[in-house]
Amino acid sequence: MDLTKAEEAILNGESGEGMQKAMELVTALGKIYGAEDLIDITSAHLSGASYKTIGDGGLKYLEDMAAGGARVSVPSTLNPVGMDRGRWAEMHISQEFAEKQLRIIELYGKMGVRTTCSCTPYTGANVPSYGDHVAWAESSALSFVNSYIGARTNREGGPGALAAAILGKTANYGLHLDEKRKPTVVIEAEIDGSVFSYSMLGQAVGMAIGSGVPYFRGISPEVEEAKTLSAAMAASGSVALWHAEGVTPEAGSFDTSGLETIHIGKAELEAAYDKLNTVQDVQLIALGCPHLTEKEMHQIASFLKGKKKVNKDIEIWFCTSEEVRAKCPEDVRIMEEFGPVLADTCMVVAPIEGAFQRTGTNSAKAGNYLPTLCSQKAMCRDISALMELVM
């Protein structure tokens, strides 16, 4: 790889061991993916925050990094953690898990990472601009900033994103390059436009293409829909960038003639729905994958206002960021009648498998991961259909 003199010096250990380790990792990954050089980044978003997903090996790694004086050099945010910091007991979480989780958050804080722990940092804590090169982990968030904002990031892993954040640089390959941002397939979408229909659309597209850069016709997503679509395609496939005609900032700059066109309509959406629904009754209903936005909090609260939760056997969790929860006290009050509004965690990275076996969600992303990461049988329906189960 073509490194500058300063980068070579870091690789040779002249800026200390922490920087050297970070450079070793970024250059090793760059080599694997054929990067020619490194590129400066303006922000990072890190995964590997839940004790459930990183375990004792990950915790020790963070202990050692922090003790070695590692610090991020660009604004960096963190993914959801395994519990709500103040309300973990309500999530059936053990004391031991809670202590280790709090330690992980503390260690990221020591390294200068902003410890609002959300998968939607682009709604407040960490907002890239068009054309920014960034190093983001969290498949749904990186797809959102690539697609809806026009920032540029690859699918970084947790340690790789942390190394990039420390250096302020990442390997220059893949979606940092114009050539790799071109659409690879056209999707003619026929959906009803509800947020849930975007979840099913994303699921169907991921199932149909796996990877690639889809170019959508016939959709007009706003933030919530784009968030949902990004999450679904990154979970059912490995899509990290998509374009929507007339909507996303780069869509107008491509010639799509000659690309294969795939139609996603009723039949494909039904197949997607069937794939995600493997159970008819649930013990937990969890909303907020990705984290609920302010608008979604208002919508849910106005839907629930004046209604009563009758079925006490089913628990309900609403998952959002600390920031959003603090901004919507009135909505929170209404929602709390149905279940806890949990901050900075979610049903996928929390150890729900200790307390539940069957979980309902409105998210295709959660629908994909609940069976594999949480040993759950999953139900995936829209919010009103889920809420009918308890009323």
Partner 1 sequence: MKVNGRTIMAGKATGEVIKLDEPLSFLGGVDGSTGDLRVGRGGNVAGKILVFPKGKGSTVGSFVMYDLMVHGKAPAAVINESAETIVATGAVISSIPMVDSIPSVGMFQDGDVVTVDASSGEVEIADVRCRAVVSSVLEKDGKVLLLRRPKSIGSFPGLWSLVSGKIEEGESPEEAAAREIMEETAISVGSPDGSMDPIYVREGSTLWKVYPFLFHVGDAEPVLNEENEEFAWESPEGLDGKDLVTDTDLVVRRLMG
The interface mask with partner 1, positions 44-63, x = CB under 8 A, is ----x----xxxxxx-xx--
Tokens of 20: 């050297």
> Directed axis angle between helix 266-276 and helix 195-209, to 10°?
90
Mapped onto helix, strand or coil, the DSSP state of residue 136 is strand
CA distance 244 to 2: 35
Judged by CB under 8 A, which of 4, 8, 16, 31 binds partner 1? 31
For residues 145-164, which are near partner 1 according to CB under 8 A?
157-160
Closest approach of partner 1 to the CB of residue 60, in Å: 5
Q: Tokens 């901004």 correspond to what residue?
A: 327
Closest approach of partner 1 to the CB of residue 156, in Å: 9
What single-letter DSSP state applies at residue 177? Answer: S
Output 236 or 293, the one with its CB closest to partner 1: 236
CA distance 248 to 70: 36
Closest approach of partner 1 to the CB of residue 126, in Å: 21
Output 60 or 305, the one with its CB closest to partner 1: 60
The beta strand positions in 174-314, using DSSP E, are 185-189, 214-217, 243-244, 261-264, 284-292
Judged by CB under 8 A, which of 32, 67, 267, 355 binds partner 1? 32
Closest approach of partner 1 to the CB of residue 31, in Å: 7
Output 161 or 300, the one with its CB closest to partner 1: 161
Output 293 or 345, the one with its CB closest to partner 1: 345
Output 93 or 349, the one with its CB closest to partner 1: 349
Tokens of 246: 């007339």
Stretch that binds partner 1, among 18-26, 119-127, 187-195, 248-256 (CB under 8 A): 18-26
CA distance 370 to 278: 11
Closest approach of partner 1 to the CB of residue 232, in Å: 20
Provide the edge-to-edge strand list for the sheet that holds 377-380: 341-343, 315-320, 284-292, 358-361, 377-380
For residues 217-246, which are near partner 1 according to CB under 8 A?
none
What DSSP letter does each residue of 344-385 carry, written as one string? SB-TTTS-GGGT-SEEEES-HHHHHHHHHHH--EEEE--HHH
Quick check: 346 and 353 in contact, CB under 8 A?
no
Closest approach of partner 1 to the CB of residue 70, in Å: 11
303 counts as binding partner 1 under rule CB under 8 A: no
21 counts as binding partner 1 under rule CB under 8 A: yes
214 counts as binding partner 1 under rule CB under 8 A: no
Total site size for partner 1, rule CB under 8 A: 20
Q: What are the contacts of 385-388 at 24+ separation with CB within 8 A?
A: 386/285, 386/287, 386/360, 386/361, 386/362, 387/285, 387/303, 387/304, 387/307, 387/338
Output 138 or 250, the one with its CB closest to partner 1: 138
Judged by CB under 8 A, which of 7, 10, 19, 29 binds partner 1? 29
Quick check: 1 and 31 in contact, CB under 8 A?
yes
Judged by CB under 8 A, which of 24, 90, 132, 382 binds partner 1? 24
Output 157 or 168, the one with its CB closest to partner 1: 157
CA distance 79 to 61: 17
28 counts as binding partner 1 under rule CB under 8 A: yes
CA distance 44 to 5: 24
CA distance 134 to 140: 15
Closest approach of partner 1 to the CB of residue 155, in Å: 9
Closest approach of partner 1 to the CB of residue 226, in Å: 25
Closest approach of partner 1 to the CB of residue 118, in Å: 20
Closest approach of partner 1 to the CB of residue 29, in Å: 6
Output 103 or 217, the one with its CB closest to partner 1: 103
* Parallel, antiparallel or unpaired: strands 114-117 and 44-46: unpaired
Output 87 or 103, the one with its CB closest to partner 1: 103
25 counts as binding partner 1 under rule CB under 8 A: yes
Specify the amino acid at residue 42: T
Q: Would you tell me which residues interact with partner 1 (CB under 8 A)?
A: 21, 24-25, 28-29, 31-32, 48, 53-58, 60-61, 157-160
